[in-house]
Amino acid sequence: MAAVRFVRAGLIAASSCALAACATVPSTDDRLPPDPVAAELAVPDGGDVELRYRLAEPTSALHFADRTGDYRETAWHPLDPTFRWVAEGDGERLERADGRAFDSVALTVTPRYRSLVKAYGPFSPFSDGSLLVYSGQFHACADLPCDGDEPLPLTIDAPGRGIATPGERSHDHARFVSEGSGSNVFVGNLAPVAADGFNAIVDPGLPEAMRARLATGLPDAMRRLADAYGPLSTAPELYVSIDRRAQPDGNVSIQGGTLPNQIFMHFDGEGIDQKLAGPTDWIDWFFAHEAGHLYQQELAGSLLGDDRIAWIHEGGADALAALVFTAEGRDAYVRQRTTEARDACRQGLEQRPLTQAAASGAFDMHYACGMILALALDRELRAQGSDLHAFDRRLFGSVKAGASWTADHWFATARELGASGAFVAQARALVGADSTAALAALAQLAPQNSTSER
């Protein structure tokens, strides 16, 4: 059977408006100078997408903050063959081989899913020909430095189809400003269905058993977390798509994540149906994890990032999934996931400290070690009459009020809610720069026979 990849990009962004709750932001204003970079996507009903960048002033290069391996170089094809892709620090740039300046460049891109390291792919095809487009992959800069979150006015043309951008639904043509980490844009004629606490567009080609899981998994998680935190201020969007075409490497991939007020999941590859025919606990866990992110960003009201301390929000979201499962009486699966997380954290720490995980390509350590730490904190706080939910309300709420998003703030908040000095010392050791001390702390926080039952 083909190998399976589950892509965990670790991206979270704060929500600002629901699907139909705010107006589309125009990309230009006659009274303002033109935007440095704007992009246009022509999305035909079948065939390649045409991507065009327009710049306010001629430039020698178009810069992209993140490098995507060989993805852009092999899949984004300039119509003018004198353009080339060049690696540039942690990112890459598009330039003319002759060094001449330019103020526009057009490319063709095949709208297929691509598994990228710690990043969402730009396209998630649906089986009926619809397409989910992740705008964040198209952010670019005319000059350095380029952070990748610079606002990008984006125009989308899709004749004969609907287009759902943040805050607005239109037909044939749409224009909005992609900001921060970007947003998913749906292109197609599938209508959203109002579900329990969210709006869903689900691929009609998804296996019936999977559709049944979707009907209960996310609603159950949303209800459990609403009991702890109250309902979300706006109903999030859910997009689930499947593409059974063979990938070039023969693998099957499952990618999912959270963007502003959105949860999405894409199944891709020729052998994907065999994967989906097996046990489905992991699907419910995924939705509980992503629902946890929605509540984190609701409480914080701002962007949550910084790869160096991703254990806070990624491991914290896995811990919320564990608490949802425990509340549903699914303790055996929680024990399985807790054991897997402890072992993965230990194996990672034997190679590097957690502070170096993201930089060394071991980002999943933040999920594993962070989950262990958050569940240990939950046990610690329950002995004091509190719990992880109270901690999250305090931590993320203080960030919304202006507190710094740092590991030190996490430790201080734990102490404020009654965690012992010994516990905080162990937590500091686990996430510190000393692998030997971290392994010793892990043994104390997650002993071999411990579980997260209560």
375-386 pLDDT, tens per residue? Answer: 999 999 999 999
Q: What is the pLDDT of residue 277?
A: 83
Q: What is the pLDDT of residue 20?
A: 33
CA neighbor of 129 nearest in space, from 181, 71, 77, 187: 187
Q: What is the pLDDT of residue 303?
A: 58
CA atoms within 13 A on the CB side of 444: 17
Query: How far are the Cα atoms of 81, 83, 258 from residue 144, in angstroms, in the given order?
Result: 24, 19, 28
Residues of the chain with pLDDT under 50: 1-32, 450-454
Say how far apart CA 154 and CA 135 lie, in whole Å.
Answer: 8
Sheet holding 237-243, edge to edge: 4-8, 252-259, 262-268, 237-243, 199-202, 193-194
Whole-number percent of the chain with pLDDT over 90: 68
**Residues listed for the chain:** 454
CA neighbor of 5 nearest in space, from 104, 153, 117: 117
Q: What letter represents residue 413's amino acid?
A: T
Q: What is the pLDDT of residue 110?
A: 94
Q: What is the pLDDT of residue 318?
A: 97
Contacts (Cβ under 8 Å, ≥6 apart) of 434: 353
Q: Which domains does the chain have, with CATH numbers?
A: 37-191 (2.60.40.3650)
Q: What letter represents residue 185's amino acid?
A: V
Locus of tokens 């998804």: 206
